[in-house]
C-alpha cells in the first residue's frame, strides 16, 4: 500500500512501528493512508512543525480518541524542491527552498507544445529537478499540436540526445499507452510543470476513479481549474503512485545543482583550466573560455551555461538588485 511495505522492509529496525504515508497536505491538516489502505485526516504533535512534514513522507502515528496524530517523520530517500521568492519588509527578495514532495523515485517535467519553448528555460527546469537518485523524464504535453511538439522534441534532442523525451496528448488516448509504460511499478512519481500544461488532466486519465480532481470545481471563478495542493494518487494503470503539484510560474533553486547533467562538454573542458576553482568567466588559461574563443564550443551554449548558473543560484536577482540601486 502506497509503498509503505517496501519502505518498511528497507528499514533495519523500527519494523514494528505503525507507519502511514502522507498523501495530501493542506495548511495544518494532513491526509495519511495506512498500511491497510485506510485514509485519515491527521495533525502533527506539537513539536513537529508543519514545515517538517510533506506529501510522500512516511510517518509514525497514533490514534487518540479517534484523532490521528503524526508523531514522527521517517528518513527520506529523496526531496523534490524548488526556489520560491518572498518579498521581505525591506523589499529584499528572499530566496527560499520550497519542498514539493519527498520519497519520490521518478520526476516527470511537462512542457506544453503550445507554450513558448526556450532551451534556457528547459535547462533551468532540468537543473532544478535533476538528482542522481531520481529518474528524470521530459513529457511534451498537448502533442495534438503536432508540429509544435516535434519542434520542441528536435530542439531538445539536438543538444541533449540522451534525454528521455516523450510526446503525448491527453486528447489522443493511443499516445497515453507510451506514457503508462514509463512509470515504474510500485514507485512514486511527481508531475511538474508550468500552470496549464495538463498535469491534472493526465492524472485524471491515469487514475481511473471518480474522486480525483474534479475539473468542475472552479476555484478561481474564471472557469479554469488550478491545482492548489500537492496530492498523491494511486494509478491502477501504471500500478504506481502519482503526485499532482500546483503549476509554477517561475523556476529557480537555491540548492547546490549538479550541472553535469546538462553541460557535460564544459565540465570536461574545465578539467584543463589552470585554476581548480575556475569560474570560466575571466580567469587566465581557462580551458572553457579558450574553447569558446577557438569555436570548439558555441558561444550560445556557453552563454546558456552561464545564464543558468546565475539564475538557478539566485545570482541573477542579486545582480538585478545591485543594478537597480
Ligand atoms: N489541446 C490540449 N489541451 C489539453 C491537453 N491536456 C489538457 N489540456 C487542457 O489544458 C488546460 C489545463 O489543463 P490542466 O490539466 O488543468 O493543467 P495543469 O498542468 O494541471 O494546470 P495547474 O493545475 O494550473 O498546474 C485544460 O483546459 C485542459 O483541458 C492536451 O493534451 N491537449
Ligand atoms: Zn575555466
- Judged by average pLDDT, the poorest of 137-151, 192-206, 245-259 is 245-259
Q: Does residue 250 lie within any of the structural domains?
A: no
pLDDT(173) > 70: yes
- Structurally, the chain folds into a number of domains equal to 3
Q: Does residue 249 lie within any of the structural domains?
A: no
Q: Does residue 230 lie within any of the structural domains?
A: yes
- Residues 43 and 67 sit within 8 Å (Cβ to Cβ): yes
> Span 290-302, mean pLDDT?
92
The residue assigned the cell 497515453 is 176
Q: Residues 115, 208: one domain?
A: yes
Residue closest via CA to ligand 1's atom 30 equals: 142
**Per-residue pLDDT at 7:** 84
- Residues 11 and 60 sit within 8 Å (Cβ to Cβ): no
- Banded model confidence at residue 20, pLDDT cuts 50, 70, 90: very high
- Is the model more confident about 241 or about 304? 241
Q: Which ligand is nearest to the CA of 282?
A: 2
Q: Residues 184, 208: one domain?
A: yes
Q: Residues 12, 37: one domain?
A: yes
198: domain CATH number is 3.40.50.300
> Span 257-283, mean pLDDT?
85
**Per-residue pLDDT at 211:** 45
What is the CA(199)–ligand 1 centre distance, in A?
7
What is the CA(272)–ligand 2 centre distance, in A?
8
Q: Residues 50, 94: one domain?
A: no
What is the CA(279)–ligand 2 centre distance, in A?
6
Q: Given the CA of residue 224, which atom of ligand 1 is nearest to it?
A: 27
In terms of Cα–Cα distance, which of 23, 323, 65 is closest to 188?
23
Q: Residues 231, 267: one domain?
A: no
What is the CA(91)–ligand 1 centre distance, in A?
34
- Is the model more confident about 321 or about 130? 130
- Banded model confidence at residue 235, pLDDT cuts 50, 70, 90: very high
- Banded model confidence at residue 284, pLDDT cuts 50, 70, 90: very high
DSSP string, 145-194: SHHHHHHHHHHHHHH-TTS-EEE--TT-HHHHHHHHTTSPTT-EEEEEEB
pLDDT tens per residue across span 68-98 = 999 999 999 999 998 776 555 555 555 678 8
Q: Ligand 1, residues 196, 212, 216, 217: which to mutate, most atoms within 8 A of Cβ?
A: 196
Q: Does residue 256 lie within any of the structural domains?
A: no
- Residues 297 and 268 sit within 8 Å (Cβ to Cβ): no
What is the domain range of residue 107? 79-244
pLDDT(64) > 70: yes
Q: Does residue 255 lie within any of the structural domains?
A: no
In terms of Cα–Cα distance, which of 30, 138, 37, 134 is closest to 76?
134
Q: Ligand 1, residues 141, 172, 201, 227: which to mutate, most atoms within 8 A of Cβ?
A: 201
**Per-residue pLDDT at 143:** 96
Pocket of ligand 1 (CB under 6 A): 141-142, 144, 169-171, 193, 195-201, 225-227, 246-247
Question: What's the Cα-to-Cα distance from 68 to each of 34, 65, 126, 222, 279, rounded to whole Å?
Answer: 11, 8, 38, 36, 52
**Per-residue pLDDT at 36:** 85
Q: Does residue 134 lie within any of the structural domains?
A: yes
CA atoms within 13 A on the CB side of 154: 6
Residues in the chain: 325
Bridge partners of 136, per DSSP, are 107
CA 289, CA 269: separation in Å to the nearest integer? 10
What is the CA(197)–ligand 1 centre distance, in A?
5
**Per-residue pLDDT at 15:** 55
**Per-residue pLDDT at 258:** 67
Q: Residues 64, 94: one domain?
A: no
- Judged by average pLDDT, the poorest of 1-15, 38-52, 159-173, 261-275 is 1-15
CA 120, CA 155: separation in Å to the nearest integer? 11
Q: Does residue 171 lie within any of the structural domains?
A: yes
- Is the model more confident about 197 or about 37? 197
Of 189, 209, 244, the residue at which a domain comes to its end is 244
- Judged by average pLDDT, the poorest of 113-117, 222-226, 272-276 is 222-226
Q: Residues 11, 93: one domain?
A: no
Q: Residues 94, 172: one domain?
A: yes
- What percent of the chain shows pLDDT beyond 90? 47
Of 183, 217, 244, the residue at which a domain comes to its end is 244
pLDDT(165) > 50: yes
Q: Residues 237, 110: one domain?
A: yes
Q: Given the CA of residue 204, which atom of ligand 1 is nearest to it?
A: 15
What is the CA(315)–ligand 2 centre distance, in A?
19
- Banded model confidence at residue 213, pLDDT cuts 50, 70, 90: very low
**Per-residue pLDDT at 86:** 58
pLDDT(167) > 70: yes
Q: Residues 153, 127: one domain?
A: yes
> Span 186-195, mean pLDDT?
94
Q: Does residue 64 lie within any of the structural domains?
A: yes
Q: Which ligand is nearest to the CA of 285?
A: 2
Q: Residues 84, 58: one domain?
A: no
319: domain CATH number is 1.10.40.50
What is the CA(271)–ligand 2 centre distance, in A?
8
**Per-residue pLDDT at 261:** 75
CA 129, CA 136: separation in Å to the nearest integer? 8
Q: Which ligand is nearest to the CA of 100?
A: 1
Residue closest via CA to ligand 1's atom 14 equals: 198
Q: Which ligand is nearest to the CA of 145?
A: 1
Q: Residues 45, 171: one domain?
A: no
Instruction: Say whether 60 sits in a helix, a strand or coil.
Output: strand
pLDDT(126) > 50: yes
> Span 49-76, mean pLDDT?
90
**Per-residue pLDDT at 307:** 78
What is the CA(151)–ligand 1 centre distance, in A?
20
Of 195, 217, 244, the residue at which a domain comes to its end is 244
- Is the model more confident about 269 or about 249? 269
Amino acid at each position: 500500500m502506497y509503498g509503505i511495505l517496501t519502505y518498511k522492509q528497507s528499514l533495519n529496525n523500527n519494523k514494528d512501528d505503525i507507519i502511514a504515508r502522507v498523501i495530501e497536505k493542506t495548511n495544518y491538516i494532513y491526509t495519511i493512508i495506512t498500511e491497510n489502505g485506510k485514509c485519515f485526516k491527521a495533525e502533527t504533535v506539537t513539536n513537529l512543525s508543519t514545515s517538517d512534514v510533506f506529501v510522500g513522507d512516511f510517518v509514525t502515528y497514533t490514534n487518540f480518541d479517534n484523532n490521528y496524530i503524526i508523531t514522527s517523520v521517517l528518513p527520506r530517500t529523496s526531496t523534490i524542491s524548488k526556489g520560491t521568492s518572498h518579498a521581505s519588509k525591506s523589499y529584499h527578495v528572499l530566496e527560499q527552498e520550497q519542498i514539493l514532495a519527498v520519497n519520490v523515485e521518478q520526476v516527470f517535467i511537462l512542457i506544453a507544445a503550445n507554450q513558448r519553448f526556450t532551451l534556457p528555460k528547459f535547462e533551468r527546469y532540468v537543473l532544478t529537478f535533476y538528482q542522481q537518485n531520481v529518474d528524470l523524464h521530459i513529457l511534451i504535453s498537448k502533442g495534438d499540436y503536432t508540429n509544435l511538439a516535434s519542434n520542441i522534441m528536435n530542439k531538445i534532442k539536438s543538444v541533449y540526445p540522451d534525454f528521455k523525451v516523450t510526446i503525448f496528448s491527453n486528447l489522443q488516448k493511443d499516445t497515453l499507452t507510451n506514457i503508462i509504460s514509463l512509470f515504474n511499478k510500485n514507485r512514486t512519481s511527481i508531475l511538474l510543470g508550468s500552470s496549464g500544461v495538463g498535469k491534472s488532466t493526465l492524472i485524471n486519465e491515469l487514475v481511473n476513479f471518480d474522486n480525483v480532481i474534479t475539473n468542475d470545481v472552479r476555484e478561481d471563478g474564471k472557469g479554469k481549474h488550478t491545482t492548489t495542493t500537492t496530492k498523491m494518487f494511486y494509478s491502477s494503470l501504471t500500478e504506481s503512485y502519482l503526485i499532482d503539484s500546483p503549476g509554477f510560474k517561475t523556476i529557480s533553486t537555491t540548492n547546490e545543482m549538479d550541472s553535469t547533467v546538462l553541460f557535460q562538454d564544459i565540465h570536461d573542458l574545465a578539467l584543463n583550466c589552470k585554476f581548480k576553482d575556475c569560474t570560466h568567466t575571466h580567469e587566465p588559461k581557462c580551458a572553457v573560455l579558450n574553447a569558446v574563443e577557438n569555436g570548439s564550443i558555441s558561444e550560445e551554449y556557453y552563454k546558456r551555461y552561464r545564464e543558468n548558473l546565475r539564475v538557478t543560484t539566485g545570482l541573477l536577482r542579486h545582480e538585478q538588485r545591485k543594478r537597480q540601486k
